A and B are shown apart, each in its own frame.
Chain A
């Protein structure tokens, strides 16, 4: 049986708490991603629906077996198909917060949280004391005797977090922990969650499709698309230098991939952009929607990048309008309502778009540490 709750030894510096390569082959879909998380670190696995995030989480929890690769947690192989090593879910030092929490409906909040400590060998009284302590830390002491259906969404989320943390997991896994909450509750709960994750001494993996959750809660982001890591790094790097269309959309940038030759970046066969910096080879070009100016006629003067475009869609975006443009390249532009009135915008209308060379950001397409496909 698993050892009773004890404080873990400090991990040896340099070795990650979690070291994993997760391979799951389902024919049409193949998950293959490497993950390393240090003790105390919070990593967000961010990606669109169907990217394999939840499958990755399930393999770490032992709810889905690996087909290849390995899961090493705190120096122990939990799942290693090539050596036939396998540790069942109930023997893994993990805690999971599920998307809709899955609090046991027949137990009170207190007994939900005490469930883990009880299974880890504490007697009923001590398990309840541990649970009571955790509920207190979550600010839920007065709700201890309530059943899950009597709790609000935010309270249920915190009970689920307390339940997962009450076994002192070496690895805490959270599956879309804020997705089930309404916008207002989400704001408060996110702030509290951040505090509790920062205090958690073990490794934490957060699975989410919400970039805001990832940016606020995580120390490091790992972005997955179609079962593969497409980019990873801290929030600043990823927001400044997106490497796929998905990431660019998440952080609100226009992104093109092309071949640079000095100040010219050839984006496709018919179109090149002029950049401020000199580069050579495969690069990305990124610029914010606010850098794209629209004109009813071909503008004279300074902008070097000018091309004819047609409007394919318009949406409100904060105080401005976000205009989707087709043409030699697909971009989005943000313009003020006043400018929109001046342009007589309408779908299918031809326009001229312009971007100043100095507003573009160009960076190499294949730096170390990322895995472009």
Chain B
């Protein structure tokens, strides 16, 4: 209240004492497990690099099967991410903004694929979209669409496993966003759809990007659901992880090369996106 203006009696703030720097030694009880943890995460990657057949690498890289699997992996992971964005962002918005009965149940259901073993997810997909599945039969007889053991099937399997990552990230971003901006948009005449596209989406764009990156990485590495639902047809459903697994049985060096490629591609893409999106303020 400006009625009492009191410049004299107000205590003059003393200069703050210099903040004591934490110069004490780092406790061994924390340092040791931390170092072990780092080692545990990095050592297998080092193993890959050490055992890589560097001399024959150029030849192996140009083998047609390798590039086909890589291209298929990148294509399906990207398509799966787009599918997840298309369906997952609206679902995340619903969970974050609309108070409907059974919201907690829906939220729990959304996270089920996260804890489900991917192979089980593949089986479940087969039971629904398989030729004799709940929807698969109808899709086949009505539209002639077959999903299992096709490239589309790969995309579906990857999206099924990866979508929860996107939904959880986007819902978190939406909950963290200040809903008063949406109220301000409403007072300016924006309906809920316009508010969503013109205000909400730009505000949570970094969260959506982070979710999409996580989702894409998960889709790229997907193995269990894919091999169960889509099988292993080179050029059609044989993605990199499946190629690695199969190569392991016959040709260890080929498996190492494929693993190296997968590692390089995912690290490169994640790093570039991370700089661009995730660390932005």
Contact = CB atoms under 8 A, between A and B. Distances in A.
B8 interface: yes
B6 A316 contact: yes
A119 B180 contact: no
Contacts of A90: 186-191
A316 B8 contact: yes
Interface string A201-214: 00000000011100
Interface stretch (A100-108, A293-301, A304-312, A359-367): A100-108
A167 B5 contact: no
Contacts of A210: 1-2
B6 A102 contact: no
A120 B189 contact: yes
B194 to A, nearest CB: 6
Given A98-B180, A315-B6, A106 B190 contact: no
Interface in B1-31: 1-9
A239 interface: no
B83 interface: no
Interface residues of B, number: 26
Interface in B38-86: none
Contacts of B202: 104, 106
B9 A63 contact: no
B189 A102 contact: no
Contact of B187 (A96, A104, A106, A252): A96
B23 to A, nearest CB: 36
B137 to A, nearest CB: 45
Contacts of A61: 183, 187
Contacts of A63: 183, 186-187
B203 interface: yes
Contacts of A322: 4
B261 interface: no
B203 A105 contact: yes
A318 interface: yes
A118 to B, nearest CB: 9
B188 A115 contact: yes
A164 B183 CA distance: 13
A47 interface: no
A51 to B, nearest CB: 15
A164 B5 CA distance: 33
Contacts of B183: 61, 63, 89, 102
Contacts of B181: 102, 104
Nearest to A105: B203
A112 to B, nearest CB: 9
A317 B187 contact: no
B168 to A, nearest CB: 24
A89 B7 CA distance: 45
A104 B187 CA distance: 13
B185 interface: yes
A102 B9 CA distance: 36
B184 interface: yes
Q: Which of B188, B190, B199 has the most CB of A within 10 A?
A: B188
Contact of B188 (A106, A163, A315, A318): A163
Nearest to B194: A119
A278 interface: no
Given A210-B2, A322-B4, A102 B180 contact: yes
30 contacts: A61-B187, A89-B186, A90-B187, A90-B189, A96-B184, A98-B184, A102-B178, A102-B184, A104-B184, A104-B185, A104-B202, A104-B203, A105-B203, A106-B202, A106-B203, A115-B188, A115-B190, A116-B188, A116-B189, A119-B190, A163-B188, A164-B187, A167-B188, A211-B3, A252-B3, A316-B4, A316-B7, A317-B3, A317-B6, A318-B5
Given A95-B187, A115-B185, 19 more contacts: A88-B191, A89-B187, A90-B187, A90-B189, A91-B189, A96-B184, A98-B180, A102-B180, A104-B181, A104-B185, A119-B194, A167-B189, A210-B2, A250-B1, A315-B9, A316-B4, A316-B7, A316-B9, A318-B5
Interface of A: 2, 61-63, 88-92, 94-96, 98, 102, 104-106, 115-116, 119-120, 163-164, 167, 210-212, 249-250, 252, 315-318, 322
